Amino acid sequence: MSASTAQPVDLDLLNEVKSILRRDLKLGPDARIADDMPLIGGDMDLDSLDILLVISSIEKHFKIKIPNEVVGRWVFQDVTTLTRFVQENRNANADGAKPHAASAGAMNWLDRLPHGPEFRFVSAVYDVVPGKSAVGVWKVDGSEPFLKAHFPGRPIVPGVLVTEGLAQLAGIAASNDTNQRGGMLAHVDVKFEAPIVPPAAIEMSATVSRELGTLRQCDVLASVSGRPVARGTVAIKFEQ
């Protein structure tokens, strides 16, 4: 449906989209956003990471899916076209299918990380589909030095290290070239659902959900004994 023939925009929805833009782009609650303000090229001139964050927020808030192929087209022409897309798709069912993981063969994927062994929070990688997904595990036995002062006597695996492990696995999943090393963490949004008490085998997965320029966003999940303990998204930036 073209912008010229589309139905009128719901003004309440338009204001809701503007509120999300003000929040995510840190414009301030009183910042004026015109209905026809371009999202690419105009006063906002969003870069790839800005667009990725806005897409993620819109998808989560309105429970819709914005396909990669429409991001650079009329949907992001301006604030109104983005709102119109939300209005037309907010009741559509999102496609939650994820690519099937295939065997990584004999490749030592941990060596693809830019980190040395002392700063790896992934013990083993079981399945990798380059550029699509990865599955791995981080084993913590309770003797690690970082646990000695982290709630002594009742240690808990630090969430920041679990997040780093998920980011490292996401870097492996997002690499579509077996000679590409890791990438750099651009953004992380991970929420914890339960503490992790050692000893534990922390099962992790990362699935690429979106590609935008040099950025690749992954849905990540950490579980212990089949119970989810952390989940969210990680964005990895690769050199051109």
pLDDT digits (tens, 9 = 90+) for 182-234: 689 999 999 999 999 999 999 999 999 999 989 999 999 999 988 999 999 99
For the cut 80, the answer to whether the pLDDT of residue 93 exceeds it is: no
Write down the pTM of the prediction: 0.69
Q: pLDDT (tens digit, 9 = 90+) per residue, 134-160? A: 998 999 998 899 888 888 888 999 999
For the cut 60, the answer to whether the pLDDT of residue 63 exceeds it is: yes
Report pLDDT for 203: 93
**Identified catalytic residue from 61, 115, 150, 187:** 150
Report pLDDT for 103: 39
Give the mean pLDDT of 104-130. Answer: 80
User: Which of these, 212, 234, 216, lies nearest to 72 by C-alpha position?
Assistant: 212
Question: For residue 12, what are the CA distances in angstroms to 28, 29, 84, 124, 166?
Answer: 19, 16, 12, 49, 37
Please provide the CATH number assigned to the domain covering 109-237. Answer: 3.10.129.10
Asked if 199 contacts 154 with a C-beta cutoff of 8 angstroms, the reply is no
Report pLDDT for 210: 93
Same fold, 3-89 and 109-237: no
Report pLDDT for 126: 77
For the cut 60, the answer to whether the pLDDT of residue 105 exceeds it is: no
Fold of the domain spanning 3-89: 1.10.1200
Mention every residue, 6+ apart, whose C-beta is less than 8 A from residue 99. 129, 132, 133, 207
Q: Look at residue 140 and give its three-state secondary structure.
A: strand
Q: At what angle do helices 11-24 and 48-62 cross, to 10 degrees?
A: 130
Q: What are phi and psi of 139, to 5 degrees?
A: -100, 125
Residue 61 bears catalytic tag:
no
Burial of 181: CB neighbours in 10 Å, binned 0-12, 13-18, 19+: middle
What is the rounded distance in angstroms from the CA atom of residue 106 to the CA atom of residue 73?
41
Spans of all domains in the chain: 3-89, 109-237
Question: For residue 129, what are the CA distances in angstroms to 142, 150, 207?
Answer: 31, 35, 9
Report pLDDT for 29: 84
